[in-house]
Structure 1
Amino acid sequence: MPPIPGIDLENVQICKNYYHAEKIKAANDNKDIKDVVIVGAGYIGVELVDAFNSAGKNVTLIDVADRIMPNYFDKEATEIVEKRMKDAGVKIALSQKVTEFKGENGKLKSIVTDKGTYEADYCVFSVGIAAQSSMLKGVVDLNERNVIITNDYMQTSNPDIYAIGDCAEIKSVITGQNAQIALATTAVRTGIIAAINVIKNNTLPQMGFTGANAISVFDYHMASAGYSAEACKRFGIDFEQVYFSDNDRPEFMSSYKNVNLRVI
């Protein structure tokens, strides 16, 4: 939780686990809540925008990045979703940083950014992740971002301690190097690998991870695996790419839809 003034006001909610989700669903069902602000345009944030918009709320999406879901998809894909969101009545406020939550009598009333102020009855704050590994400093090896360093068996530098989930490094099949890939599917797989290796004394090495993921929002279905073109640029990886559109079935079929595909 970043130290933003007013972040502890009533109706400022984080979204990290099942119990948070229950509270968010209750807010979405609450007819008295009309103006909702989502801070964070990653997967969770965009899915929440879809949910609140479907319930008839006035929704604003704020993010410091210049487009939605930048870690997963290149601009051609996210532009389509942004247009669909705007057509559905969502207000998108990008390239903005939240500086304050303002309230009355302890309850949220508005959200202030470095570029404007937005009225809000309710806010979900879903920005980034940080490994909660402080209890392990000096106990196991951590990387520069305090993510737990593991070997092929999800074992840390202390052989009696294994690490799984978003706080642990895994092997990227793209680079062959260890990386943090914060996805639920990755967390589940690391849990299975670690459990088997605890029981069977390191007999199941991880095969590596592609970061495969998918999302369905505003009637648009998206999936990706590996690195986007922007990620390749960020990591200094030389690449070529091709982008094309085609129908998922032959045109003589009773129904077909257009598919956009990028291969890197």
Structure 2
Amino acid sequence: MKIVIIGASHGGIAAAMSLCKLTSKNEVYLIDKKPLHALGYISSGVNLHFQNIIQELTEVTTDVQPLIDLGVNILTERQVMDIDPKNHKLFLEYEDQEEIFSYDKLILAMGSSPTAVNTIIDAENVFTYKGLEESQYVLDSLEKAQQIVIFGAGYIGLELANVLAATGREIHLIDNMPMILSRYFDSDMIEEVQDSLNVQGIHFYPNEFLIDYQAVDNKVNKVCLLSKTIEADTVIFPSQAQPNTGFLRDKVALNEDDTVIVNDYLQTSEQDIYAIGDIVPITYSKTAHVFMPLVTRAVHMARAAALSLIGHAIPFDRENKVSATKIMDYFLGSVGVTEEEAPFLDMDVSSIQTEVCLTPTYIAQQKIAKVKLIYQKDTMEIIGAQLVSKEHLLQDLNLLSALIQHKTTILDLAVENFCFVPQYTPLFHYLNELAFQVLQQTSD
């Protein structure tokens, strides 16, 4: 069977590698418009550079040799112009020539691209970035800049602001929402972190919009917001993105935002075409979905699609989303639905939020976390959770993701059998205690 994957970012690479590791019976082709040296670039490379974790951005691209050793056929600098699902053909552009390429099964993994910033501000020192080449331009500008304006307080914008502020630069972070990370955290969970930004040297402007700008010699030197004007050496729009699905219109079923409609097994409206990664939205129902690019989700979708293609069909949970970051001294983790977004998804939810002690009371140095569980009112199924702590709680976040994926209820969680080790843990895990508190409240 000839399996072709369009897109050699994280999802496409994971799909190709998974397919070849599972069986050697198939021909696997990976097609991408980027050059070989730029494949699989981690878009937070700029942040890693300013943290002195890497010196060159090329350090966080993918080494393609393991893929080649596994038998993946990599075709780079080829732009897919069109597809013919009926005849299982792709139409590629390569060196100004058209190529026709056939397939038996097709995986769409084109990811997303930043929206062109020249539609917002057309100037030399205004950037958006995701790939290696754009990131290098951004890095060159940031190295010389002292006053940096960042539009968007999602993960990308906040993480960039955090690492740049640590280098002594003056950072202005602007968002049209009242809180940072508003797509991932409720206000009551993130307020403490937001209040700490100014101490770090990050000026945060909530509920603000760009209304104008001033430029000299095609370089922005001031941006004008609703309430004030800010001087700028470099302006970044890190969070504007759109799915790369233009050539799919009228070929497979798309949502109104050009994301791809798939079933539980990641098949599109065409049986032999699968879709993974950013182009597949978080999907709650036939009428409720959210476009939210997440690398974690892309690579796990890739593995699920690979298993289905070789005969181990497994459904993928398209509702669940899990993400985390470290800002200043805080670990921030979020999974599933937030309480504030639930009404927009026609979900009737309740929640419990409290500060918990992660260690036994007899341990001198206490470890604390703020924890929130969101659950359906009628079934008490847990559908969301958030963690904020100065402790590293990634494994707890992964545990919560698994509990949500397996549709665990508050009643289940109250008696979940977590391990007790007296040197490290209280008698009951804090998640047991949170669930039990809910049951106490509902029993009154």
Q: Where do 1:111-150 residues align within 5 Å?
A: 111-150=223-262
Equivalent in the alignment of 1:225: 335
Cα distance, 1:176 vs. partner?
A: 9.3
Equivalent in the alignment of 1:161: 273
Distance in structure 1 (CA, Å) of the matches to 2:184 and 2:126: 26
Give the SS at the match of 2:275: coil
Change (3 A) 1:111 1:5: farther
Cα deviation digits, residues 97-120 of structure 1 (max 9, x gap): 123443221223122223322111
Equivalent in the alignment of 1:245: 355
Equivalent in the alignment of 1:110: 222
Equivalent in the alignment of 1:184: 295
Gaps of 5+ in 2: 1-114, 375-444
The answer to which structure has the higher helix fraction is: 2
Distance in structure 2 (CA, Å) of the matches to 1:254 and 1:24: 46
Cα distance, 1:155 vs. partner?
A: 1.6
Query: Structure 1 residues 78-87 or 103-112, which shifts more?
Result: 103-112
Give the SS at the match of 1:99: strand
Cα distance, 1:77 vs. partner?
A: 2.0
CA RMSD of aligned residues (A): 2.4
In 1, are the aligned partners of 2:288 and 2:345 still within 8 Å (CA)?
no
Equivalent in the alignment of 1:212: 322
Change (3 A) 1:6 1:259: closer
In 2, are the aligned partners of 1:9 and 1:101 still within 8 Å (CA)?
no
In 2, are the aligned partners of 1:102 and 1:109 still within 8 Å (CA)?
yes
Cα distance, 1:145 vs. partner?
A: 1.6
Change (3 A) 1:202 1:99: farther
Cα distance, 1:195 vs. partner?
A: 3.0
Aligned residues: 259
Report which structure shows greater RCO (CA 8 Å, sep ≥6): 1
Equivalent in the alignment of 2:181: 69
Distance in structure 1 (CA, Å) of the matches to 2:132 and 2:308: 28
Which amino acid in the other structure matches residue 176 of structure 2?
A: V
Cα distance, 1:6 vs. partner?
A: 6.2
Distance in structure 2 (CA, Å) of the matches to 1:135 and 1:124: 28
Distance in structure 2 (CA, Å) of the matches to 1:11 and 1:149: 37
Q: Does 1:195 align with 2:315?
A: no
Q: Which has the larger radius of gyration?
A: 2
In 1, are the aligned partners of 2:156 and 2:239 still within 8 Å (CA)?
no
Equivalent in the alignment of 1:234: 344
Cα distance, 1:9 vs. partner?
A: 1.3
Equivalent in the alignment of 2:129: 15
Change (3 A) 1:23 1:98: same
In 1, are the aligned partners of 2:117 and 2:127 still within 8 Å (CA)?
no
Give the SS at the match of 1:158: coil
Cα deviation digits, residues 134-158 of structure 1 (max 9, x gap): 2111111011221110112222112
In 1, are the aligned partners of 2:282 and 2:321 still within 8 Å (CA)?
no
Change (3 A) 1:128 1:16: same
In 2, are the aligned partners of 1:166 and 1:182 still within 8 Å (CA)?
yes
Cα distance, 1:236 vs. partner?
A: 2.4
In 1, are the aligned partners of 2:161 and 2:171 still within 8 Å (CA)?
yes
Equivalent in the alignment of 1:92: 204
TM-score by length of 2: 0.54
Q: Does 1:260 align with 2:374?
A: no
Which amino acid in the other structure matches residue 103 of structure 1?
A: A
Cα deviation digits, residues 145-200 of structure 1 (max 9, x gap): 2111011222211223221111113555xx698734421101111222223334x1
TM-score by length of 1: 0.87
In 2, are the aligned partners of 1:5 and 1:99 still within 8 Å (CA)?
no
Task: Select 1:43's aligned residue among 142, 146, 155.
Answer: 155
Query: Structure 1 residues 95-104 or 49-58, which shifts more?
Result: 95-104
Query: Structure 1 residues 120-129 or 67-76, which shifts more?
Result: 120-129
Give the SS at the match of 2:370: strand
Cα distance, 1:206 vs. partner?
A: 1.7
Cα distance, 1:126 vs. partner?
A: 1.9
Cα deviation digits, residues 210-262 of structure 1 (max 9, x gap): 21111110111111211111011222211111111122213432433321111
Which amino acid in the other structure matches residue 213 of structure 1?
A: S
